[in-house]
Amino acid sequence: ALDITRDIYSNDRYPQNPQLIKLIQRDQPILIQNGGSYEEEDLDNLLGEWDLVARFNQLGILSDDLVYQQFSFDMVKAYKNTEIRDYINRIRVKYKDDLMYADFEWLAKWAEETSNTE
């Protein structure tokens, strides 16, 4: 959990992640083609980490409580972000894979529903 948190929220492994999260929180453009400053690869790195969190949660490696407390706020913001949703839909078509980032979406939906009940 600590390694994943570091990979998502520090600039050690993916230096762009903290800045991407700020843009998501502020609903500002992310990708270059949309007026932002980042490449698709940069967004892939962040979404891939959240997808990994979801898989680890499904396998019981990361508990619901830990995942909710540590990751849910930013994941839900990203899930609701129109630019990110459009990006996920576009790459699913491009790679003919409807399951790309499906685990991320599943966990973000769960986190959103959980926050509405608490």
Show the low-confidence residues of the chain (pLDDT under 70): 118
The structure's pTM equals 0.94
What is the pLDDT, as a whole number, of residue 116?
A: 80
Backbone φ/ψ region at 101: left (φ over 0), alpha (ψ -120 to 50), beta: left
Burial call 44-64: b when 16+ CB within 10 Å, e when fewer = bbbbebbbbbbebbeeeebee
What is the pLDDT, as a whole number, of residue 30?
A: 98
